[in-house]
Structures are given as C-alpha cells and as structure tokens.
Amino acid sequence: MFLNKCEECGKKGQVYEINAPEDIFHAYYCLCDRHAPKRGFCLGCGYFCGGLEDFEFGSGSKYGYCFDCWEALRVEIEGDYFDEDEDYYR
C-alpha cells in the first residue's frame, strides 16, 4: 500500500483497492484510518467488507475491523500473551 493523502481530510492515508470478480473494474481510494472503516474497508486486512453483516454490526465494527481480523486480535490479546506474566507474580 502506498502513502498518500486521504480523500476526506487530507491526512496521510493508505490506498485501498476494490477488485471486482474477473477484473471487471478496479476502484482505488486513498483514505486515513479514520475514514477507511466508514467507507467499508477493514483496518486489519484492507479488504472491502462494506455491507457484510459481521463488518457492519460485529463486535469489531466499532474499531473498523472485519470479523476475521477482530477474532485474530482478540485471540492474541486474550491468548498466551498474558499467560507468560503469571509466573512473575508467584
């Protein structure tokens, strides 16, 4: 992804791409982290997820992540990361 200016606010952003099936069309949008989820792009994988129920209404939608990326973050946070610190407090 390339760094450019956001189409909405002019801050630094990433170029997000929508690929239609069989390359019917390509659409490129340069958006910052604040505006990308509002246009339907996941901040984790960069895929266009707008209109999908898990993206629009899922637990990660508040933060701009699709279901798969949100689950990966949740597992990383709740998983083995904090288990390593248990020995420190014994």
* pLDDT digit string, tens, across residues 55-86: 888 888 889 999 999 999 888 877 655 555 55
Domains in the chain: how many in total? 1
Question: Degrees (nearest 5) of the Cα angle 38, 49, 2?
Answer: 70
Query: CA 68, CA 5: separation in Å to the nearest integer?
Result: 28
Q: Which domain holds residue 79?
A: 3-89
Task: Classify residue 68 as exposed, middle or buried by CB count within 10 Å of its CB (0-12, 13-18, 19+).
Answer: middle
Coil, strand or helix: which one is 26?
strand
Q: Residue 1 — pLDDT band, cuts 50, 70, 90?
A: very low
Taking the complete model, does pTM exceed 0.75, yes or no?
no
Are 35 and 26 a contacting pair, CB within 8 Å? no
